[in-house]
Amino acid sequence: MAETLPIDWNQPVCIIPTGNNQRFPLALTEGDEYLLIINNLEQAPHRTQTVHLVAEFDSVERHPTGCYFQNTTPLSQTSHVGHRPALSQPDLSSSRPTTSQPTTQQKSVTSERSFYLFVTDGNLSDRNQYTRITGRLVQDSPRVAIYLDEQQKISELAPGLLNGIIETLEQQVLDKITRECGPIRDIDQDGRFTILLSPWLSRLQGGKTSINGFVRPSDFRETVSEPFSNHCDMLYLNSALKPGQELLDLLSHEVTHAAVSSLRADQSNSPATSLMDEEDWLNEGIAHIMEPGYTNRDYRISEFYRKPEAYPLVVPDYYRAQLWRNHGCRGAVNLFLDWCTQIESTQRFPHRFTHHPLTGTPKMEQLTARPFPELFRLWSLNLAHQALTRKTLDPDTQPDTQPETQPESGSDQPPWHCGKFILAGPAFHSWDLFKEPRASLNIASTASGFLHLKSNNSQNGNVTINVNGSPKMQLTLLKIPHSSNRLSLTATQNIPSATDTTLAKFLNIRLSCKHPADSTVETISLELSGTYLSRAARQPRLFQTSSLNSLLISQATSLEVVTDGTYQEGENRVTDFLIRIPRTILRKQKTADSLTFKAIAQTETSKRMAAQTDFKLDAQPAQRLAETSKPTKN
- How do residues 305-345 score in pLDDT, each as one tens digit? 999 999 999 999 998 888 988 999 999 999 999 999 988 76
Of the candidates 297, 315, 304, 454, which has an alpha carbon nearest to the alpha carbon of residue 387? Answer: 304
d(CA 291, CA 167): 17
- Report the percent of the chain where pLDDT is more than 90: 55
pLDDT digits (tens, 9 = 90+) for 149-185: 999 999 999 999 999 999 999 999 999 999 999 999 9
Please report which confidence band the pLDDT of residue 634 belongs to, taking 50, 70 and 90 as the band edges.
low
pLDDT digits (tens, 9 = 90+) for 445-473: 999 999 999 876 666 678 889 998 777 89
Please report which confidence band the pLDDT of residue 626 belongs to, taking 50, 70 and 90 as the band edges.
very low
Please report which confidence band the pLDDT of residue 387 belongs to, taking 50, 70 and 90 as the band edges.
confident
407 or 527, higher pLDDT:
527
Residue 292 clears pLDDT 90, i.e. is over it: yes
Lowest mean pLDDT segment, chosen from 139-143, 221-225, 332-336, 342-346: 342-346
Average pLDDT value for residue range 494-520: 84
Report yes or no: 485 and 32 within 8 Å, Cβ to Cβ.
no
Report yes or no: 575 and 566 within 8 Å, Cβ to Cβ.
yes
415 or 395, higher pLDDT:
415
Please report which confidence band the pLDDT of residue 73 belongs to, taking 50, 70 and 90 as the band edges.
confident
pLDDT, residue 486, reads 82
pLDDT, residue 161, reads 98
Lowest mean pLDDT segment, chosen from 21-25, 74-78, 538-542: 74-78
Residue 221 clears pLDDT 50, i.e. is over it: yes
The DSSP letter of residue 187 is T
> 565 to each of 358, 550, 613, 623, how far by Cα in Å?
58, 8, 20, 27
pLDDT, residue 408, reads 44
pLDDT, residue 483, reads 66
My answer on whether omega of the bond before 395 falls inside 30° of 0, hence cis, is no
Residue 77 clears pLDDT 50, i.e. is over it: no
d(CA 440, CA 38): 11
pLDDT, residue 209, reads 81
Residue 293 clears pLDDT 90, i.e. is over it: yes
Contacts of residue 455, defined as CB under 8 A and 6 or more positions apart, other chains included, come to 28, 30, 31, 32, 33, 432, 433, 434, 463
pLDDT, residue 459, reads 62
Average pLDDT value for residue range 360-389: 93
The DSSP string of 55-84 is: EEEESS----BSEEEEE---GGGS--GGGS
pLDDT, residue 346, reads 67
Lowest mean pLDDT segment, chosen from 167-176, 389-398, 620-629: 620-629
- Report the percent of the chain where pLDDT is more than 70: 83
- Average model confidence (pLDDT) across the chain: 84
Please report which confidence band the pLDDT of residue 83 belongs to, taking 50, 70 and 90 as the band edges.
very low
Report yes or no: 496 and 502 within 8 Å, Cβ to Cβ.
yes
Residue 264 clears pLDDT 80, i.e. is over it: yes
The DSSP letter of residue 375 is H
Most confident of 127-136, 214-223, 249-258, 568-577: 249-258
d(CA 3, CA 454): 27
pLDDT, residue 47, reads 82
Of the candidates 213, 203, 263, 261, which has an alpha carbon nearest to the alpha carbon of residue 238? Answer: 213
Of the candidates 534, 591, 629, 41, which has an alpha carbon nearest to the alpha carbon of residue 280? Answer: 629
- Give the phi and the psi of residue 250 in degrees, each rounded to 5: -65, -50
Residue 396 clears pLDDT 80, i.e. is over it: no
Angle at 322 between CA 447 and CA 38, to 5 degrees: 10
d(CA 353, CA 634): 19
pLDDT, residue 65, reads 75
Burial of residue 498, with CB atoms counted within 10 A of its CB: 0-12 exposed, 13-18 middle, 19 or more buried: exposed
Q: How many residues does the chain have?
A: 634
pLDDT, residue 90, reads 40
344 or 209, higher pLDDT:
209
pLDDT, residue 20, reads 66
pLDDT, residue 258, reads 97
Determine how β-strand 234-238 pairs with β-strand 213-215.
antiparallel
Average pLDDT value for residue range 558-586: 92
Lowest mean pLDDT segment, chosen from 232-236, 387-391, 421-425: 387-391
pLDDT, residue 80, reads 35
d(CA 601, CA 514): 10
Average pLDDT value for residue range 528-541: 91
Please report which confidence band the pLDDT of residue 28 belongs to, taking 50, 70 and 90 as the band edges.
confident
Most confident of 340-344, 348-352, 623-627: 348-352
pLDDT digits (tens, 9 = 90+) for 408-421: 444 444 567 888 89
160 or 485, higher pLDDT:
160
Burial of residue 68, with CB atoms counted within 10 A of its CB: 0-12 exposed, 13-18 middle, 19 or more buried: buried
496 or 327, higher pLDDT:
327
Most confident of 74-88, 395-409, 583-597, 618-632: 583-597
pLDDT, residue 277, reads 86
pLDDT, residue 443, reads 96
SS3 530: coil
